Chain A
């Protein structure tokens, strides 16, 4: 039998419908791959085989009865930021300890109600704070990709899978699930997708409910999928998105059938190329990637227009005020009293302080402290209010651009995947990973990363598409043109399966 884990989600869906294999066989194939391959990659922090097999059996029953739901029997990984009823959820932080939610996230519930199967919980940067998956309490996720030298020899240096959704990107690229849930606060879906040759879609703020997702920065956080193909990500988002009375920022708007628009092409579409993204020192390979993307869209009938987004350079510093401020506020709830870790001290305050010192990792502590500082008496106007004003200007840049163009094309990241430790010593160098992605969160827009080529060292590079609010459809059909032109980028050698 063919290796079922190599199928795309759409292919697996077709195979199940045609009864070429059962949902249980499909699930077992992934569980076996996790069993064998996860030790090298550390993409899953918790596999849930019994849960998965029970769901798969239910799917087989429904398929036999002709009552298959849209994602019937399709095995997924679930980022450990999504609460799972009765199943440990930690945000990859020690402070949540052995937390077992008594409820399911709305996005998760939507997926299971659509018939999907959960294989387990995926690793991420602690509380989604990081760009390399090096801050997880469960340790680094290793990318399935490896660099190839000029001599053609493959290096065994361990590369980062991106972050914060590094477990999601690595698991999808390594065929340890068909697709995965992810979240994006400053680039945490798109950057890991770009670094692993997968497709990452961050929808418009409000498209997916945030209910039951561990909060990092509430005005920026948004859920979305990481998948193998543009089609798979369209299938996933359709199932994940919904209006939810439990999240007042979720939008009461119909969710389109994204899969239906994939073949529409880009004839007559106006594509904006923001000149501010041509940053100093942009490498030749990133420049070429961008030029290739422009050429593909142009030859498919789109028109190309240079645009200006003048406040681009201020998005990242403004983000590093807004995100830590909201993080310090959100993470105040972890006090060791009602759930999670408690480290007893001499008195109440001492217990709080010891609990939070022991429970939070270094990067999370750093961001809480920055956030506390910028919100503290006397500094609020100078930092937080200023940053929120700059945010208004960033959004206005895009509002004006939408008068001239329908979609914006940029690279997703300034460079390909790096090795562990290369950037972790310098917080500012790591923060620059988000330079092309963070504006999208600041303006609440949808953004998508699609593989566009390989670096000189044979590792993936991603192109980013940015769209108008709630116009994910244009992103999907444009992304499909890029995928059709660039091809797909599976990992050449499944070394992690060789024990």
Chain B
């Protein structure tokens, strides 16, 4: 699997990580190498195999649909880079 620079840039954009030109070059090679290596899974016939969804068989747990938490706005905004009156202050989202 050859990952080219355009693909690196597309993935980086999807992942919201800024990548310099120099980094993009290195990543082309590294990602290609790793993806080539994982391609050995194609040797395994999985046509009749279900994908794993959980490692331990157990029933999904249910609980009553009631409020168990809340009134902790102080705690929730305590670590915000910017906050005001219990609101997160963020860059403009809508033009």
Contacts and interface: CB of A to CB of B under 8 A. Distances in A.
Interface in A339-358: 339-342, 344-345, 347-354, 356-357
A417 to B, nearest CB: 24
B91 interface: yes
B78 A102 contact: yes
Interface residues of A, number: 68
A262 B37 CA distance: 42
A1 interface: no
A385 interface: yes
Contacts of A365: 17
Given A342-B81, A352-B16, A373-B35, A388 B52 contact: yes
Interface in B26-63: 27, 30-31, 33-35, 37-44, 46, 49-56, 58, 60-61, 63
A198 B61 CA distance: 37
A465 B43 CA distance: 29
A372 B79 contact: no
Contacts of B34: 320, 370, 427-428
A320 B38 contact: yes
B84 to A, nearest CB: 13
Nearest to A335: B16
Given A348-B91, A354-B18, A100 B79 contact: yes
A338 B14 contact: no
Contacts of A204: 56
A372 B49 contact: no
Given A349-B16, A357-B18, A337 B55 contact: no
* Interface band, chain B: 35 or more
Nearest to B39: A317
A339 to B, nearest CB: 4
Interface in A184-216: 204-206
Contacts of A386: 41-42, 46
B31 A341 contact: no
B90 interface: yes
B18 A337 contact: no
A137 interface: no
B2 to A, nearest CB: 13
Nearest to A100: B79
A206 to B, nearest CB: 5
Interface stretch (A12-20, A33-41, A390-398, A483-491): A390-398
B41 A351 contact: no
Contact of B41 (A99, A251, A314, A360): A314
A321 interface: yes
Contact of B11 (A103, A245, A373): A373
Given A352-B16, A372-B15, A392 B52 contact: yes
Nearest to A352: B16
B79 to A, nearest CB: 4
A444 B31 contact: no
A256 interface: no
A387 to B, nearest CB: 6
29 contacts: A100-B78, A249-B56, A251-B58, A252-B61, A313-B40, A317-B38, A318-B41, A328-B15, A339-B80, A340-B79, A342-B81, A347-B92, A348-B90, A348-B93, A353-B17, A354-B18, A357-B17, A366-B27, A369-B15, A386-B46, A388-B53, A389-B44, A390-B46, A391-B51, A392-B50, A392-B51, A428-B34, A428-B37, A442-B55
The 4 closest A-B pairs by CB, nearest first: A444-B55, A388-B51, A339-B79, A389-B46
